[in-house]
Amino acid sequence: MLRARALAAACYRNWNSTLSVLTVYYARPAEKKSDCAFFDLTVKMQNEPEKKKGAIASYNFIMDFLFKDPLRPSTMSILDIGLLTGFKVDERDLSKLSTGKDKYIQSFEMNKELSERGSLIIYIDKISNKEKERLVFRMHKINEVGMLQPAGITVYEYNAPDKRCAKFYHPYKKDGSLNRLCHEELCQCAEENCSLQKNEHISEDKREVKACEREVEYVYKARVSEMGFAVHADIYNMTVEQVLKEGTDPVVEGNMRSFLAHPFCREFLKFEKGKTYLIMGQTKTLPRIGGKLRYHLGEDTWIEYWPTDKEGQTKEYREKFIGITSLADKLIRFGCAT
């Protein structure tokens, strides 16, 4: 009996292993008033109509800064600028700023030693304590990124690196803040990709597979009745004309429901008042307001234009109309097989 226990213990030791778990999460950038006790710094990005050849988009990167000491300007100062994923700095602009009669900066370099993330480092001889100074150069979007996170910028004196001011920037968000949907005293985090209206060719099989996924709890034919645009949320009031797959929202057919989306997603959703759409999504994570679900149009929501009977006779919409009406017929008559 003792020998058996010894063998079992030896086997356990031989098969013992270590499991490492890496958790990745997005934390909201924190800006404290104390962080900017010595410098005043503002950062913004403005879209440049004439984009660089080969770039998806171009932006003017604008920084305004001031040294807050009432007695003197700053000594040699450093701007440590974290770069957005998929973006490239226009080094020709920086070269112009560092040469010529009006030499706005001493020098610049791409550096991975002075910065934890890898940054553009700009050296400035001194920063005024009397009036704000401005630097402007271009950044070019070279690659599309699904979840573009804010990047940081820090300014400090070379001889006093602890006395710094840090800010965050993003091409679409003010101060790199998180997206939120706020309506009727309730705010939700909306830090995800936008839902895209599906305009590409879609096979009937792909559409049916999506509708019958376990995560997809509802499938509606819905008409946009009203659209309300606000700072923190766009609200699309829709009349649910037909329930093809019922979720946890009872008595929805023939009634109006509100669908919320972040204003940044407006151009991707492309809703039109009076038009009808196939909408598929889930309801289990949605909040209830006044006993009714508040729908959220997120990256997992399927949105597809539902052509009218007349449009279904045209070459442009015939295939889409046949595919969607075929799906509706199958779901109503037979439901999902799984």
Q: What is the pLDDT of residues 5-17, one digit of tens each?
A: 444 444 444 444 4
β-bridge partners, 180: 189
d(CA 247, CA 3): 59
How many residues does this entry show for the chain?
338
Q: Is 100 left (phi over 0), alpha (psi -120 to 50) or beta?
A: left
Where is pLDDT greater, at 281 or 173?
281
Which string of b and e fits 296-324 if b means at least 16 CB within 10 Å? bbbeebbbbbbbeeeebeeeebeebbebb
Residue indicated by tokens 């020709």: 92
Instruction: Please tell me the least confidently modeled range out of 225-229, 296-300, 325-329.
Output: 296-300
135-180 residue pLDDT tens:
999 999 988 765 577 888 999 999 998 888 998 898 877 655 545 5
β-bridge partners, 82: 119
Residue indicated by tokens 């994923």: 85
Give the domain ranges of the chain.
Answer: 33-176, 180-333
Where is pLDDT greater, at 117 or 126?
126
pLDDT at 119: 81
304-316 residue pLDDT tens:
999 999 999 999 9
Distance spanning both ends of the chain, measured CA to CA: 51
Q: Determine the topology of domain 33-176 in CATH.
A: Immunoglobulin-like (2.60.40)
Say which DSSP state 327 is in: H
Q: Can you state the percent helix, strand and coil of the chain, rounding each to 5? A: 20, 35, 45
pLDDT for residue 35 is more than 80: no
Residue among 155, 146, 170 at smallest CA distance from 68: 155
Q: Determine the topology of domain 180-333 in CATH.
A: OB fold (Dihydrolipoamide Acetyltransferase, E2P) (2.40.50)
Q: Which range among 32-41, 162-171, 192-201 has the greatest average pLDDT?
A: 162-171
pLDDT for residue 245 is more than 90: yes
* 324 token code pair: 């969607």
pTM of the model: 0.51
* 334 token code pair: 């037979």
* 62 token code pair: 């604008």
pLDDT at 213: 92
52-91 residue pLDDT tens:
989 999 999 999 999 999 999 999 999 999 888 889 999 9
Query: Considering the chain, what percentage of its residues have pLDDT values greater than 70?
Result: 76
By the 8 A CB rule, do 150 and 143 touch? no
User: Taking all residues of the chain, what is their mean pLDDT, rounded to a whole number?
Assistant: 80
Q: 3-class SS at 129?
A: coil
pLDDT at 13: 44
